[in-house]
Amino acid sequence: MKPNLEDQAASAEGPWEECFELAVQLALRAGQIIRKALSEEKQVSTKTSAADLVTETDHLVEDLIISEMQKRFPSHRFIAEEASAAGAKCVLTPSPTWIIDPIDGTCNFVHRFPTVAVSIGFAVNQELEFGVIYHCTEERLYTGRRGRGAFCNGQRLRVSAETGGPRARGGPRATSG
């Protein structure tokens, strides 16, 4: 089921609605780039260790997200994985701040394993207001807003009614509906 932007935006009513809508739009755009790049040859570099990888697609997606956000919200701050790895300060202040992982699962991406996502969070006064995660290959858009719940492709996620603790029941499960 493809994500429905209108359903996601409808759940965004509040002071940061425009930010939420932009995050959803950019996550979907970034997902298209990542899906296409999954099948292509990649230039891979390492960051802090041999297991900490980065590709040109990580940089491309991060640059796209940040540049579009800066156009709309020039006073906002950014904490982005690739910029931080390159030495940019990673400080969460009270200012509106975007927290971005352009390809969550870069190692999977490098090896063409399709479990990858775009992750975008938004914090104000050092508290998360919302998060948007787009699982690119499954086309699942997960969103959550403080005090408003979590959704997958517009359907509310709920904790199951299972009791007995995680070990007794195989762990917590979320259900839609």
Mark the binding-site residues, compressed into ranges.
Answer: 81, 101, 103-104
pLDDT at 40 over 60: yes
Confidence of residue 11 (pLDDT cuts 50, 70, 90): very low
CB 146 within 8 A of CB 9: no
pLDDT at 51 over 70: no
Query: 3-class DSSP state for residue 62?
Result: helix
Mark the binding-site residues for Mg(2+), compressed into ranges.
Answer: 81, 101, 103-104
Residue 135's DSSP bridge partners are 117, 140
pLDDT at 41 over 80: no
In this prediction, what percent of the chain has a pLDDT beyond 70?
73
**pLDDT, position 127:** 96
| Angle, helices 56-72/17-38, rounded to nearest 10 degrees | 160
Comparison of pLDDT for 158 and 4, the residue scoring more: 158
Q: Which residue carries 């940089």 as its tokens?
A: 59
**pLDDT, position 163:** 80
The model carries a pTM of 0.77
Fold (CATH) for 16-154: Fructose-1,6-Bisphosphatase; Chain A, domain 1 (3.30.540)
Each residue of 133-156: pLDDT tens digit?
Answer: 999 999 999 999 999 999 999 999
pLDDT at 10 over 70: no
Position 153, amino acid = N
CB 117 within 8 A of CB 34: no
If 0-12 CB within 10 Å is exposed, 13-18 middle and 19+ buried, where does residue 114 land? middle
Q: Which residue carries 């040859």 as its tokens?
A: 41
- 22, 16, 45: which is closest to 106 by C-alpha? 45
DSSP state of 137: T
**pLDDT, position 117:** 95
Q: Which residue carries 């950014």 as its tokens?
A: 78
**pLDDT, position 9:** 43
**pLDDT, position 112:** 85
- Give me the mean pLDDT over the 36-65 stretch: 72
